[in-house]
């Protein structure tokens, strides 16, 4: 039977989701835990890659195993959470339709990026300290322009193995969270490697008024990563939400 594993994780000590040679990954950690607890080698397919150091508040992965009762699912969630430290939390396990796929059936993904304009003694590990004043109004004007484009080559890591660099941006905006944090939220049907962090780095250029909205558009149109801003640190980026059709679930 097919199951969806719903989890969250702190990416600080991982090389990302996907298994990498000689580096700790979330995928490898989960597969090791499943082997120890279920005494069977089980492959786990994630909803997508996250880069080294990026966090996930909500992440889905699928795996196949024999049919489990509600009590067995509850016990497995408990045992997995006991197996891991605080870096990974298993939120739930759902029974799925056999054709459900964690990656290909994701309708959209939402990321959030946190910028602090004041020092964060207790939150520095999860925000990017940028003490200069940023013009959020202009940054949001630039965000609206993102929805007018589909080719985001300028914001993609070079030499990635994808068929194209086309994405549909559903929404993108900045908002204040308290007195000293601003948050960037972006939802799209898919994301390229390093895309969100390079978009944020370029929007900072807009907010600091180094470039204007027209120049921001020209950067997108150039389809040249060298034209865009720097890639901001991974530690402040969170995969925040993933949407699936309810029809894929046997239970919600």
Residues belonging to the active site: 51
Find where tokens 């989701």 sit: 17
Q: What token pair was written down for 177?
A: 């969270």
Q: Is residue 128 classed as helix, strand or coil in its secondary structure? A: strand
CB atoms within 10 A of CB 176: 11
User: How do 55-64 and 237-243 pair as beta strands?
Assistant: parallel
Closest CA to 165 of 174, 155, 173: 155
* Nearest partner of 169 among 196, 194, 207, judged by Cα: 196
- Cα dist. 163→20, 24, 146, 170, 188 in Å? 22, 28, 21, 21, 17
- DSSP string computed for 202-217: HHHHHHTTSS-HHHHH
């Amino acid at each position: 039977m097919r199951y969806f594993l719903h989890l969250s994780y702190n990416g600080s000590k991982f090389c990302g989701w996907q298994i990498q040679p000689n580096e700790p990954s979330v995928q490898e950690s989960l597969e090791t835990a499943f082997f120890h607890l279920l005494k069977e080698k089980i492959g786990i397919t994630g909803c997508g890659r996250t880069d080294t150091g990026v966090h996930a508040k909500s992440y889905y992965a699928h795996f196949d195993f024999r049919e489990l009762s509600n009590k067995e699912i509850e016990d497995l969630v408990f045992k997995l959470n006991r197996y891991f430290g605080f870096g990974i939390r298993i939120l739930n396990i759902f029974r799925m339709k056999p054709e459900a796929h964690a990656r290909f059936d994701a309708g959209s993904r939402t990321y959030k990026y946190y910028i602090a304009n004041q020092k964060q003694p207790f939150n520095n590990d999860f925000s990017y300290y940028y003490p200069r004043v940023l013009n959020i109004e202009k940054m949001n004007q630039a965000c609206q322009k993102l929805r007018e484009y589909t080719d985001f080559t300028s914001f993609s890591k070079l030499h990635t193995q994808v068929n194209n660099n086309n994405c549909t941006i559903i929404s993108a905006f900045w908002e204040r969270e308290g007195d000293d944090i601003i948050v960037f939220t972006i939802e799209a049907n898919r994301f390229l490697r390093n895309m969100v962090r390079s978009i944020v780095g370029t929007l900072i250029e807009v907010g600091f008024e180094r470039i204007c909205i027209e120049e921001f558009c020209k950067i997108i149109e150039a389809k040249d990563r060298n034209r865009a801003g720097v890639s901001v640190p991974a530690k402040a980026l969170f995969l925040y939400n993933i949407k699936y059709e309810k029809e894929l679930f046997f239970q919600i």
